[in-house]
A and B are shown apart, each in its own frame.
Chain A
Amino acid sequence: MSPLTLHDYLAVGAILFGLGMVGFLARRNLIIMFLSAEMMLQGVALNLTAFARYRGNLQGQAFVLFLLTVAACEAAIALALILMLFRRNRSLDVSLWQELREDDQPPNLDEEPLPPAPEPEPLPQLTPAGHEPVHAEPSHEEASHV
């Protein structure tokens, strides 16, 4: 029957931080990598707020505000950089940027084949306005998706 302690909040912050780190290390989409980095920042923000609460002052919250500022700046710059990179390679895959490897090292290529991509779902077809719909028999497949 004890009330919440600082420990509980710190644990949640630690878990968010760790998950964000795993995402940053493992995911290959540049945008998801940055989302993961933001998630790590969320963990830190939670910690700081909890410290503020349990210490009984507002410094922690002030820190979180600064953290928000920095995160916003970081997001702006990161997005600009991501756009630049995307324009060069037409892809968000971070693994395409390997130019800084040693000269004699082979490029790191994906060897495992991907599972076959699912068929793109056909878009519903609408008849142009002002025309009488053709009352042809619609296929069942299309009808199910409308």
Chain B
Amino acid sequence: MDVALFADGGAAGLARYWLALLPAALGFVGVYCLLPQAKGGRPMLGTLLGGAALALTGWLLLRHDGILPERILFYAFSALAIVGGGMVLAQRNPVHAALSFALVVLSTCGLFLLLAAPFLMAATIIVYAGAIVVTFLFVIMLAQQAGLASADQRSREPFLASLAGYILIGALLCVLEKTFDARTIDAALERIDAVARAESVDDARRQFGEIRKLFDDPQKPGSDRTLPVDEMKRLIPQTDQDLLEAEFLLNARDLPKLKAMFRKLHQQGLQARLSIGVLTADEKQPATPFSQGPLDAAGRHALPAQNVAGLGRTLFADYLLPIELAGILLLVASIGAIAIAARRPEGLR
């Protein structure tokens, strides 16, 4: 990827994504307040701020998008995961922290299920929630029988740590926003939709003029339209031709045909919008036989129900050697763990 992500200008470029940065900033302050501190920790304020950050994010996301069952599940699992993550940071009692981590794992598993990865879901629950977290709990109970340790009441550099986390998350979110920026095409689609819904020929003519402006004068200084027309043309290849035809229809004052045409254009635009930032497999060299299924509405290949079988085949056909190596790694790790943790007589090193 080009290093100059925001070639359209420094801090001003960043400011375009303030909507992504704002909840992150709220979260930064919230996490800082939530971290255990000997003095000055404000868990209530932190919880409030974190909740506000989540709510703001939810509003920002739901603002454009309607309610779909998939979305509801996604937001629910995501919110649970993030809240759980915050609780891992905030809990003074390590047992509670471990349980919050289990919550994170479980909600991540819900997201795995949404991503059509049932085997991963099961494996993660068994390995993480079932094995790792329980072992951690054992160790905690072994080590901390005398109640709350002083180490759990304090944090190391809470402000700097939260700031570093904020910068990282902010940068990642900005990159995501940049990569999946659909605002220009959204604006164009809005106007196309307006033409398609026009009541009269004059109304349509006025709306059409807006579209012409959008295309003729795409780089006017001060305008917030910075995505170039080229991208529009790349996404909807026949736009130029359509615009010429629309001009002709306008002059002929044939409103129904015009509206029908723009409805079609709108549908095409919606399809094109989905392809923004979407990764597509190389059709010539499919990595697995499952990359050639039919696409769904989101432009995703429909993974067949037996994708567990597919995963098995991938692992034991494409990744046979790595699987064996992973097995050896596990063996070595278990030997190492035993060797390290075994009690030795004092003085024997």
Contact = CB atoms under 8 A, between A and B. Distances in A.
Nearest to A58: B314
Contact of A29 (B101, B151, B310): B151
Contacts of A46: 108, 111-112
B123 interface: yes
B329 A52 contact: no
Contacts of A38: 101, 128, 132
Given A11-B176, A25-B157, A80-B337, A36 B88 contact: yes
B229 to A, nearest CB: 22
Interface stretch (A81-89, A126-134, A135-143): A81-89
Interface residues of B, number: 116
A16 B329 contact: no
A29 B152 contact: yes
A26 B157 contact: yes
Nearest to B68: A3
Contact of B124 (A45, A73, A114): A45
Interface in A1-26: 1-12, 14-23, 25-26
A19 B291 contact: no
Counting chain B CB atoms within 10 Å of each CB, the highest count among A49, A58, A65 belongs to: A58
B150 A5 contact: no
Interface string A20-40: 111101111101101110110
Contacts of B119: 61
Nearest to A20: B85
B311 A55 contact: no
Interface string B119-142: 110011001100110011001101
Contact residues of B: prevailing secondary structure: helix
Contacts of B340: 77, 80-81, 83-84
Give the interface size class of chain A: 35 or more
Contacts of B277: 5-7
B287 to A, nearest CB: 4
Contacts of A34: 136
A61 B336 contact: no
A65 B333 contact: no
Contacts of A11: 172-173, 176
Contacts of A120: 147
A26 B35 contact: yes
B297 A39 contact: no
B94 A69 contact: no
B278 interface: yes
B81 interface: yes
A19 B156 contact: no
B15 to A, nearest CB: 19
Contact of A110 (B38, B286, B301): B38
A68 B154 CA distance: 31
A146 interface: no
Interface in A46-93: 46, 49-59, 61-62, 64-66, 68-77, 79-84, 86-87, 91-93
B111 A9 contact: yes
Contact of B88 (A35, A76, A95, A113): A35
Given A26-B156, A39-B104, A117-B148, A83 B85 contact: no
Counting chain B CB atoms within 10 Å of each CB, the highest count among A12, A22, A51 belongs to: A22
Contacts of B55: none
B226 interface: no
Given A42-B108, A62-B315, A76-B333, A112 B287 contact: no
Interface of A: 1-12, 14-23, 25-29, 31-32, 34-36, 38-39, 42, 45-46, 49-59, 61-62, 64-66, 68-77, 79-84, 86-87, 91-95, 110, 112-115, 117, 120
11 contacts: A6-B277, A10-B172, A15-B169, A25-B160, A28-B155, A32-B152, A56-B280, A57-B287, A65-B311, A80-B338, A87-B343
Shortest 10 CB-CB distances between A and B: which pairs? A56-B301, A93-B151, A73-B333, A22-B165, A18-B169, A25-B161, A3-B298, A80-B341, A14-B172, A19-B85
